[in-house]
Structure 1
């Protein structure tokens, strides 16, 4: 009994020591085995590991891709239009031993602070080398790539691999919004004024061309009308000449009757003239006398 009572505590202690010497590496993490603060083993493969109890300790680090949001940062592009930039980065621990040496016992919290500093420096350097229009345009994808490449080079010394850097939001500072809106409004009004001026100029050209076309068409129509009128007069005169040549007496008779008809029409005033007036020459002629006698 006394021997059994002695063995039970020994077995319990031995079991406790054996259990404390074992540890499990999860597939989502990496493990460092430290002995008096010095790295003696690195476990990156999931499974069961062994350490010396009380002498060695296990430090666990996340092996997944981590995300880090950077506090909104104010940058000044080349055109001096200040912008407030909100960005984030995705990273993972690539070299566990180097990571431990760089951040010490601070772990992932210290690493995130170092990453914040790296991203802030890169954001200021890259965004400060371009204009605000480049930052706000589709060119921002190339800018994010430049920021990521710069952050990769600096984070490599920490044993960290920067996977991606993105700009979430790019805004103007609150105190600059009114001034910016006023400037944008002035620019739009200037553009509208220029457009109206160009439109008026184009309208003047169209009106001038239309007026010129009207004058040309009118002149051409009048010219053609004069030509037609002249041809008609010439044809009429030719017809009269032919008629006069065919029967001069009848032609003289017709012209006299036409003159009498126009002069003695119903709408004319009363005419008073002497019997020997030249107006009655045809009636006093032999042809007229024969005509009156025939009536």
Structure 2
């Protein structure tokens, strides 16, 4: 009789021990409840004890959790609707506060509450700016603003929000074509403005270049005229000096220049008397001497001496 009783006592003691001991994993936080009231919280991994039968243990995941929100339609200041998807990274920071906030719903209820908080902050942040800010580099500042607001509101849930990001910010399908057409028109207007400014600058440069070229050519013509005048004066001086040294040679040069100018190209027919002075240098030296002899100025004066011999016939 004693053996069965002893076995029963051992079994009962083992059963009590098993119901008094629980294990906390390093990835979990444990909460000891007694009739629904929080009696103890275990966050360090290892063995822990509780009162059997009247206390129970609830485990919560202490790792970082991810939350992907459903697609949300928001309307920025310019009334251009956007489809936005966001995600958050969070974890439980205060197990007791978390239990009081979400009750028995646990992680699923916490995800629903967080999604509502994120959606409200996304609508508020994106509704206060134009759509260009959501689609530009300002998007980082908007995400930080949404994260900071969500962190404050999530503290009441015993949750620590680590990060919030916008995954997608697209236009609705029915608005894409109109938006793309408007963007194309804006880019074409900007391109036309750039081309107009470029043409204006080009005309300015051309006008400046034409003015510079005209001034340069004018100065060159002026300098050329001055040089030509100085050269003509020098030539006339040299000719004048030459005339004073040898008038016969100067007359010869002037006659040669006259022949060259009068008999150039088709202008070679002249109606001039043969004994004109124009052809004085075209006669042979013998003819010139004969003309000089036969000219009245060269004939000897008649002698008054009757004894002088008569000229030869």
Q: Same fold (TM over 0.5)?
A: yes
Specify the alignment match of 2:179 in structure 1.
Answer: 180
Deviations 1:233-273 (A, max 9, x none): 11111111111122223323442354346546796544343
C-alpha distance 107-283 of structure 1, shift in aligned 2 (>3 A): closer
C-alpha distance 89-238 of structure 1, shift in aligned 2 (>3 A): same
C-alpha distance 148-241 of structure 1, shift in aligned 2 (>3 A): same
Q: Does 1:166 align with 2:165?
A: yes
Contact preservation (8 Å) 2:143, 2:166: yes
* Alpha-carbon distance in 2 for matches of 1:145, 1:40: 38
* Alpha-carbon distance in 2 for matches of 1:120, 1:257: 110
Deviations 1:177-230 (A, max 9, x none): 211211111111111111111111111112212221222122122212211111
Aligned length: 290
Q: CA deviation at 1:87?
A: 1.4
User: What do you get for the CA RMSD once the two structures are aligned?
Assistant: 2.6
Once the two structures are overlaid, the 10-residue window that deviates more, 75-84 or 195-204, is: 75-84
Once the two structures are overlaid, the 10-residue window that deviates more, 147-156 or 256-265, is: 256-265
Specify the alignment match of 1:237 in structure 2.
Answer: 236
Specify the alignment match of 2:125 in structure 1.
Answer: 126
Specify the alignment match of 1:205 in structure 2.
Answer: 204
* Alpha-carbon distance in 2 for matches of 1:203, 1:16: 97
* Alpha-carbon distance in 1 for matches of 2:48, 2:62: 17
Once the two structures are overlaid, the 10-residue window that deviates more, 105-114 or 199-208, is: 199-208
* Alpha-carbon distance in 2 for matches of 1:200, 1:264: 57
Specify the alignment match of 1:221 in structure 2.
Answer: 220
Once the two structures are overlaid, the 10-residue window that deviates more, 273-282 or 61-70, is: 273-282
- TM-score between the two structures when normalised by the length of structure 2: 0.83
- TM-score between the two structures when normalised by the length of structure 1: 0.88
* Alpha-carbon distance in 1 for matches of 2:137, 2:57: 47
The higher radius of gyration belongs to 2
Once the two structures are overlaid, the 10-residue window that deviates more, 190-199 or 245-254, is: 245-254
Q: CA deviation at 1:75?
A: 1.8
Structure 1: runs of 5 or more not aligned: none
Q: CA deviation at 1:282?
A: 8.0
Per the alignment, in what secondary structure is the counterpart of residue 79 of structure 2? coil
* Alpha-carbon distance in 1 for matches of 2:30, 2:265: 132
Once the two structures are overlaid, the 10-residue window that deviates more, 41-50 or 269-278, is: 269-278
Q: CA deviation at 1:130?
A: 2.1
Specify the alignment match of 1:152 in structure 2.
Answer: 151
* Alpha-carbon distance in 1 for matches of 2:25, 2:62: 9
Once the two structures are overlaid, the 10-residue window that deviates more, 207-216 or 184-193, is: 207-216
Per the alignment, in what secondary structure is the counterpart of residue 60 of structure 1? strand
C-alpha distance 282-97 of structure 1, shift in aligned 2 (>3 A): closer
Q: CA deviation at 1:84?
A: 1.9
Once the two structures are overlaid, the 10-residue window that deviates more, 234-243 or 260-269, is: 260-269
Q: Does 1:102 align with 2:89?
A: no
C-alpha distance 253-162 of structure 1, shift in aligned 2 (>3 A): closer
Specify the alignment match of 2:53 in structure 1.
Answer: 54
Contact preservation (8 Å) 2:262, 2:268: no
Per the alignment, in what secondary structure is the counterpart of residue 44 of structure 2? coil
Per the alignment, in what secondary structure is the counterpart of residue 227 of structure 1? helix
Q: CA deviation at 1:279?
A: 3.4
Where does 1:29-40 land on structure 2 (aligned, <5 Å)? Answer: 29-40=28-39
Contact preservation (8 Å) 1:29, 1:60: yes
Q: CA deviation at 1:117?
A: 0.6
Once the two structures are overlaid, the 10-residue window that deviates more, 72-81 or 273-282, is: 273-282
Where does 1:72-87 land on structure 2 (aligned, <5 Å)? Answer: 72-87=71-86
* Alpha-carbon distance in 1 for matches of 2:227, 2:113: 98
